[in-house]
Amino acid sequence: MHLKRKAPDFILFITVMMLISIGIVMVFSSSSYYAMFPPFNNPFWFLTRQLINALVGIPIMTFMMRFDYWKLKRWAPALLVCAILLLILVLTPLGTSKLGAQRWINLGFFSFQPSEFAKLCVVIFVATTMAQKGVKVRTFRQGVLPYLVLMAFFSGLILAEPDLGTAITLVGTIFIMMFCAGVKLSTLSAIAVSGVGAVMAAIFTEEYRRDRFLAFLDPEGDPTGAGWHILNSLMSLGSGGLLGTGLGQGRHSKFLYLPERQTDFIFAVIGEELGFIGGCLVILLFILFVWRGFKIAITSPDPFASLLAAGVVSGVALQAIINIGVVTSSLPITGITLPFVSFGGTSLVFTLMGVGVLLNISRYITPK
């Protein structure tokens, strides 16, 4: 097959850069007052680190945009093994615990979150093996069952950290890739029903998850406890009005009423300081990202590229949907960041790496 190379998808690139720019501004706006106090004592602490994260992630995205994406197929098994080892390693004493979750490996000069790396590795592996199986991927024994085992194995490791939001995102990404590969709708429906049951079981087997779910159903039942996050998030969104209170002028973010304002609940800060219009702009940018991403997947020159593109886009889209759903009280709290926007080095770097692969795929078309 002879492929013609073209320029990468410009609209997708600009969309990502706009989201990163909004994120840098909002990270500073949401954290500057908070960072003035110990242990930071520097209003620019979060801004500086997010700028460094972007300056690391964007060159990696550029490199992956020029790297021949089909070479990833030969690395897929090694990447999967590496992801498994890191997910096991984070559960050992080498892992760092923050806010009751052991999700990081501290390397001294920066903290590394293996689950973010694992998501991309799993997408590459699934795309590789599904493309190799061809039509066999539609059969249960050879196609569906191995990926159900893969889902259960990786979600189990991630849940052990614990990180329900990332586990749901990973499972949902594989599910969408199975749909794109042509798995029967009846089979997918059965998997979806089983998945909902598994999520409910994961919620009610842990007390803190159960409390969060009950708070989602009735946040005013425990306004100073489990319902605190949801109520303050909704008040932040509601107080922004149409145009917002202005950058750095959000009362809930500035005066520390809103927890995790620069990470999990940064969309609430956007709603308060930039208003309804600012929140809609961010949502529209994610819709634009999904549209361009799936257009790349549909017009990709080979099955591997198509599935790989669909996996990258699905992972970002699901994470954004869950984050915004949590902030707007449409979903129970899961503790997951908003892609490109929230503060966090590992998330931004590996998401940009995936975008680089996506832009790489967009450079190749099959001649008519």
- How far apart, in whole angstroms, are the C-alpha atoms of residue 176 and residue 126? 11
pLDDT in tens, 139-194: 888 889 999 999 999 999 999 888 888 999 999 999 999 999 999 999 999 999 99
242, two tokens: 């149409």
**Which whole number is the average pLDDT over 336-355?**
93
- Give me the number of domains the chain comprises: 1
Q: Which residue has the higher pLDDT, 270 or 210?
A: 270
Global pTM reads 0.93
3-state secondary structure 152-173: HHHHHHHHCCCCHHHHHHHHHH
Q: Are 235 and 265 in contact (CB under 8 A)?
A: no
> Which residue range forms the structural domain that includes residue 327?
4-365
Question: Which residue is listed with tokens 């798995």?
Answer: 183
* Residues forming a β-bridge with 104: 96
DSSP-H helix ranges across 205-302? 207-217, 228-239, 251-254, 266-273, 275-298
The rounded mean pLDDT for the chain is 89
- In angstroms, the CA 357 to CA 239 distance is 39
